[in-house]
């Protein structure tokens, strides 16, 4: 018998909120763009929840520390993927689903496309494993819209490395060390980018690719265009 937890996210009651995810390589400006979109939507009167992965719940933020700290040595790719999904399952149950049920617009910095791009392509664990785990552990919850910020991998990763080094230097003032992924090779990030572009091709109705190599204001304008076209706000 096919009895699974997906049913609780697919009940007959229509979901009132909207779920928008931001994706892209490290340093493409996702967090900045997410904040700008949140401000614009709030100014237009919408209820908005800003959140992120890995993390987003108190348990998830603890898992995030383990995943991103460069002191986490020898974590196997499968253990890494399992922790990403553990954080996500908690995040969906504790934050995302309740907010959607409340009618909020949930803006999430990374979701399962990150696992498909980083663990599936980057770590070579493959797409089928990620999609299967998403179905089992996340009830196959799909975003209404995904904004994929695309820019030159070398440029964006260098930007992320500089930012995280700056933050770690001030770690005594409470910033976490989040350098583990930024230490990966150029080949890794190029696989991640290819992974993202294949997702965008396969899921073209959901994923909008936005060129993130211009100024933050230019990128924000493109995002607003996509959001109003796709979600008809
Ligand atoms: P994030 O804080 O968004 O980093 P950045 O601001 O540099 O883009 O994400 C942290 C790292 O976690 C990032 O390198 C990507 C990685 N990650 C995965 O590998 N798999 C996942 O499923 C998620 C959510 C993130």
54 lines ligand 1 (CB under 6 A): yes
Q: What is the pLDDT of residue 183?
A: 85
Distance 83 CA to ligand 1 centre (A): 12
| In-domain check, residue 10 | no
Distances, alpha carbon 219 to alpha carbons 30, 110, 150, 157, 164, in Å: 10, 17, 10, 18, 22
| Residue 156 binned pLDDT confidence (cut-offs 50, 70, 90) | confident
| In-domain check, residue 216 | yes
Closest residue by Cα to residue 213 from 153, 166, 165: 153
> Is residue 152's pLDDT more than 90?
no
Average pLDDT, the chain: 90
Q: What is the pLDDT of residue 38?
A: 98
Distance 26 CA to ligand 1 centre (A): 7
Helix 77-91 to helix 58-68 angle (10° resolution) is: 160
Q: What is the pLDDT of residue 1?
A: 34
Write out pLDDT tens, residues 99-139: 999 999 999 999 999 999 999 999 999 999 999 999 999 99
| In-domain check, residue 76 | yes
| In-domain check, residue 5 | no
| In-domain check, residue 88 | yes
- The number of distinct structural domains making up the chain is 1
Range of the domain at 35: 16-231
Q: Count, in order, helices (H) and strands (E) of the chain.
A: 9, 5
Q: What is the pLDDT of residue 164?
A: 76
| In-domain check, residue 8 | no
212 lines ligand 1 (CB under 6 A): no
| In-domain check, residue 196 | yes
| In-domain check, residue 54 | yes
Determine the atom of ligand 1 nearest the C-alpha atom of 87. Answer: 24
Write out pLDDT tens, residues 178-222: 889 888 988 999 999 999 999 999 999 999 999 999 999 999 999
Write out pLDDT tens, residues 9-67: 544 455 689 999 999 999 899 999 999 999 999 999 999 999 999 999 999 999 999 99
Q: What is the pLDDT of residue 155?
A: 84
Q: Using CA atoms, how far apart are residues 188 and 181, in angstroms rounded to an integer?
A: 10
The model carries a pTM of: 0.91
Q: Using CA atoms, how far apart are residues 11 and 42, in angstroms rounded to an integer?
A: 28
The CATH number of the domain where 119 resides is what? 3.40.50.300
């Amino acid at each position: 018998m096919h009895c699974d937890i997906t049913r609780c996210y697919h009940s007959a009651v229509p979901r009132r909120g909207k779920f928008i995810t931001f994706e892209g390589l490290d340093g493409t400006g996702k967090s900045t763009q997410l904040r700008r979109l949140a401000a614009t939507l709030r100014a237009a009167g919408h209820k908005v929840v800003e959140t992120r992965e890995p993390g987003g719940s108190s348990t998830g933020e603890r898992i995030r520390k383990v995943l991103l700290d460069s002191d986490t040595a020898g974590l196997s790719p499968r253990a890494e993927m399992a922790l990403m999904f553990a954080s996500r399952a908690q995040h969906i149950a504790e934050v995302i689903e309740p907010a959607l049920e409340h009618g909020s617009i949930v803006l999430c910095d990374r979701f399962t496309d990150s696992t498909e791009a980083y663990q599936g392509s980057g770590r070579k664990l493959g797409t089928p494993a990620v999609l299967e785990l998403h179905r089992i552990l996340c009830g196959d919850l799909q975003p209404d819209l995904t904004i994929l910020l695309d820019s030159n991998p070398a440029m964006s990763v260098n930007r992320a490395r500089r930012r995280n080094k700056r933050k770690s230097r001030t770690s005594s003032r409470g910033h976490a060390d989040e350098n583990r992924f930024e230490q990966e090779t150029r080949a890794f990030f190029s696989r991640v980018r290819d992974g993202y572009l294949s997702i965008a091709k396969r899921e073209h109705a959901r994923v909008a690719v936005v060129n993130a190599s211009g100024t933050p204001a230019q990128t924000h304008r493109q995002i607003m265009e996509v959001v109003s076209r796709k979600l008809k706000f």
